[in-house]
Structure 1
Amino acid sequence: MRLSERTAVVTGAASGIGRATARRFAEDGASVLVADRDGEGAEAVAALLREDGFAARAAAVDVADEASVAAMVEAAIAWTGRIDTVAANAGIMVEGSILSVSVANWQRAMDVNSTGAFLTARHALPHLVKSAGTLVFTASTVALAGMKGIAAYAASKGAVAALARQLAADFAEHGVRVNAVAPGAVRTPLSESQFRARAKDDAEFEALLGQVIARYPLKRWCTPEEIAEVILFLATSRSAWITGQILPVDGGLLELR
Structure 2
Amino acid sequence: MLLENKTAVIYGGGGGIGGAMARAFAAEGARVFLAGRTAEKLDAVAADIRDAGGLAETAVVDALDESAVNTWVDSIAGIAGSIDISVNLISQDALFTPMIEMPVAEFGRAMEKVARSFLLTTQAAARHMVKQGSGVILHFGGSDATNSAPGMGTVQIGCDMVEAMRRQWACELGPHQVRVLSMRTGGIPDPAMPDEIKQQMVDHTLLKRTATLQDVGDVAVFLASDKSRSLTSTQVNISCGALVD
User: Partners in 1 of 2:237 and 2:93 — Cα distance?
Assistant: 18
User: Partners in 2 of 1:39 and 1:144 — Cα distance?
Assistant: 37
**2:166 maps to which residue?**
164
User: Partners in 2 of 1:58 and 1:168 — Cα distance?
Assistant: 28
- Give yes or no for the alignment of 1:235 onto 2:230: no
**1:58 maps to which residue?**
58
Write the letter of the residue equivalent to 1:114.
Answer: A
C-alpha deviation, 1:177, in angstroms:
0.9
Superposition pairs of residues 196-235 of structure 1, within 5 angstroms: 205-235=194-224
C-alpha deviation, 1:210, in angstroms:
2.5
- Native 8 Å contact 1:186 1:222 kept in 2: yes
- Native 8 Å contact 1:12 1:89 kept in 2: yes
C-alpha deviation, 1:42, in angstroms:
1.0
- Native 8 Å contact 1:35 1:72 kept in 2: no
Q: Deviations over 1:41-82 (max 9, x none)?
A: 112211221122111100112222222322331332243132
**1:198 maps to which residue?**
none
C-alpha deviation, 1:245, in angstroms:
0.6
C-alpha deviation, 1:150, in angstroms:
1.5
- Give yes or no for the alignment of 1:14 onto 2:3: no
Distance 1:141 1:223, change over 3 A: farther
- Native 8 Å contact 1:18 1:90 kept in 2: no
TM-score relative to the length of structure 1 = 0.85
Q: Deviations over 1:217-244 (max 9, x none)?
A: 2233321221222221111111011111
- Native 8 Å contact 2:35 2:59 kept in 1: yes
Write the letter of the residue equivalent to 1:155.
Answer: I
User: Partners in 2 of 1:104 and 1:220 — Cα distance?
Assistant: 40
Write the letter of the residue equivalent to 1:59.
Answer: A
- Native 8 Å contact 2:3 2:221 kept in 1: no
For these two proteins, the number of residue pairs brought into alignment is 243
Which deviates more from structure 2 when the two are superposed, residues 21-30 or residues 244-253? Answer: 244-253
Which deviates more from structure 2 when the two are superposed, residues 137-146 or residues 77-86? Answer: 137-146
**2:131 maps to which residue?**
130
Which deviates more from structure 2 when the two are superposed, residues 245-254 or residues 232-241? Answer: 245-254
Gaps of 5+ in 2: none
**1:116 maps to which residue?**
117
User: Partners in 1 of 2:90 and 2:190 — Cα distance?
Assistant: 13
C-alpha deviation, 1:104, in angstroms:
5.7
**2:179 maps to which residue?**
177
C-alpha deviation, 1:29, in angstroms:
0.5
> Identity rate of aligned residues, in percent?
31
**1:29 maps to which residue?**
29
Write the letter of the residue equivalent to 1:254.
Answer: L
C-alpha deviation, 1:101, in angstroms:
4.9
Distance 1:71 1:233, change over 3 A: same
TM-score relative to the length of structure 2 = 0.89
User: Partners in 2 of 1:143 and 1:67 — Cα distance?
Assistant: 35
- Native 8 Å contact 2:95 2:110 kept in 1: no
Q: What is the DSSP-based 3-state SS (H/G/I as helix, E as strand, rest coil) of the residue aligned with 1:44?
A: helix
Q: What is the DSSP-based 3-state SS (H/G/I as helix, E as strand, rest coil) of the residue aligned with 2:231?
A: coil
Q: What is the DSSP-based 3-state SS (H/G/I as helix, E as strand, rest coil) of the residue aligned with 1:216?
A: coil
Write the letter of the residue equivalent to 1:162.
Answer: A
- Native 8 Å contact 1:134 1:235 kept in 2: yes
Gaps of 5+ in 1: 196-204
